[in-house]
Amino acid sequence: MAQTASRRKAKVAIREQWCKGCGICVAFCPLKVLGLSEENKAYVNQDACNGCRLCERLCPDFAIDIGEEDDAKPQAASGPGK
Ligand code: SF4
Ligand code: SF4
């Protein structure tokens, strides 16, 4: 049911080139919808994510960006500046 969701669906974008596979996002995601691939890069079960943004805040490498699917274009990344 719940076809008419009152909030937009979050879109999790993971920048694999910035992910170092520390697993912090995986450990702290409250819904356990993040995982690490065999290449030690984070991936997400997009459909199960509730858009809480915790992973985006916790990632030390700014490798996760949460956008809204309705927007279709997440903001351009302002990188870590390294
Ligand atoms: S936004 Fe929240 S629910 Fe979605 S992957 Fe990140 S921590 Fe998990
Ligand atoms: S917290 Fe960031 S660097 Fe660590 S596994 Fe998750 S996306 Fe990769």
CATH number of the domain enclosing 50: 3.30.70.20
In a domain, 11, yes or no: no
The whole-angstrom separation of Cα 20 and Cα 23 is 8
Q: How confident is the model at residue 79 (pLDDT cuts 50, 70, 90)?
A: low
The whole-angstrom separation of Cα 55 and Cα 3 is 26
Domain containing 58: what range?
A: 24-66
> Could you give the number of structural domains in the chain?
1
What would the two tokens of residue 39 be? 């290449």
Q: Which residue owns the Cα nearest ligand 2 atom 3?
A: 19
Segment 58-74 shows an average pLDDT of 82
In a domain, 18, yes or no: no
pLDDT over threshold 80, residue 62: yes
- Report how far ligand 1's centroid is from the alpha carbon of 81 (Å): 24
Q: What are the tens digits of pLDDT across the range 16-33?
A: 999 999 999 999 999 999
Computed from CA positions of residues 41, 28, 48, 9, in that sequence, does the dihedral angle turn out positive or negative?
negative
Q: What is the CB < 6 Å shell around ligand 1?
A: 10, 12, 29-31, 33-34, 44, 49-55, 66
What would the two tokens of residue 16 be? 């694999």
In a domain, 48, yes or no: yes
Segment 25-54 shows an average pLDDT of 97
Q: Which residue owns the Cα nearest ligand 1 atom 4?
A: 49
